[in-house]
Amino acid sequence: MKKHVYIALVIVAAFAAALGSFLAFRPDDPTRTGAVDARPAAQAQSVRADSHRLTRPERSELTVVEFLDFECEGCGAAYPVVERLREEYGDRVTFVARYFPMPGHRNGELAARTAEAASRQGKFEPMYRKLFATQAAWGEAQDSKKETFRGYAGELGLDMAEFDAALDSPETAARVRADQQDGLGLGVQGTPTFFVGGIKVATPGSYEAFRELIEARLAG
């Protein structure tokens, strides 16, 4: 009996490890390499020095971090709410976007690499806006939208040779995975997931609810 229990525990542990690996390293990722910035759960952080900040107030009173997937409909629904909050609180609150493409989305990881490649030319925010604004046109597709995303890069005036090199670079893929690993270490299981002042919160259901949450944290 004890032997059977032991075997069952081993199987469960192996399954959990495989699931975590699948979320962090998508099996169809063409740029996967062995050199990865592995960030154990104990070292996971909701925001890092190289995280993409959408606002940079002189005296930040609060930080709001979103782990997102550009192909996620929930993230698409949250996008205008976050934009409205950015406009209202941008001089007091630091808003941060972090990658967490989900394995069920064919182009989620590619979209994250597209945004990261654009960031290498100082165009993260324009590409972030572009991907959400056009989500309905490419989201949920089963074919690769690489050429569509290249088109967006051209519209934003990016150097295409530099963009293409960055898009396919192992370092760009590793940068996306590093955000995923932080998310996994912090208990992120889906998108969007928000951290307000370093604390994971239930995703507010409306602009008013999110604004109330921010106001409470600023007052506290």
Which is more confidently placed, 24 or 114?
A: 114
Range of the domain at 203: 2-219
SS (H, E, C) 27-67: CCCCCCCCCCCCCCHHHCCCCCCCCEECCCCCCCCEEEEEE
The amino acid present at 189, given as its one-letter code, is Q
What does the pLDDT read at residue 100?
98
Residue 161 burial (CB < 10 Å; 0-12/13-18/19+)? exposed
Contacts of 97 (CB under 8 A, 6+ apart): 51, 52, 54, 66, 68, 128
Number of domains into which the chain is organized: 1
pLDDT exceeds cutoff 50 at 204: yes
Could you give the CA distance from residue 142 to residue 188 in angstroms, rounded to a whole number? 25
pLDDT digits (tens, 9 = 90+) for 155-187: 999 999 999 999 999 999 999 999 999 999 999
The amino acid present at 21, given as its one-letter code, is S
pLDDT exceeds cutoff 90 at 189: yes
User: With the C-alpha atoms ordered 125, 91, 48, 103, is the resulting torsion angle positive or negative?
Assistant: negative
Could you give the CA distance from residue 118 to residue 112 in angstroms, rounded to a whole number? 10
pLDDT digits (tens, 9 = 90+) for 46-95: 999 999 999 999 999 999 999 999 999 999 999 999 999 999 999 999 99
What does the pLDDT read at residue 163?
98
Nearest Cα neighbor of 176 from 78, 108, 125 is: 108
Provide the pLDDT confidence category of residue 101 given band limits of 50, 70 and 90.
very high
Which is more confidently placed, 207 or 29?
A: 207
Which is more confidently placed, 54 or 2?
A: 54
What does the pLDDT read at residue 43?
86
pLDDT exceeds cutoff 80 at 132: yes
What does the pLDDT read at residue 22?
36
The enclosing domain of 111 has a CATH number of: 3.40.30.10
pTM (2 d.p.) = 0.82
pLDDT digits (tens, 9 = 90+) for 9-41: 333 333 333 334 333 333 333 333 323 344 444
pLDDT exceeds cutoff 70 at 6: no
Do the beta carbons of residue 23 and residue 103 sit within 8 Å? yes
Residue with tokens 């996971």: 44
Provide the pLDDT confidence category of residue 220 given band limits of 50, 70 and 90.
confident
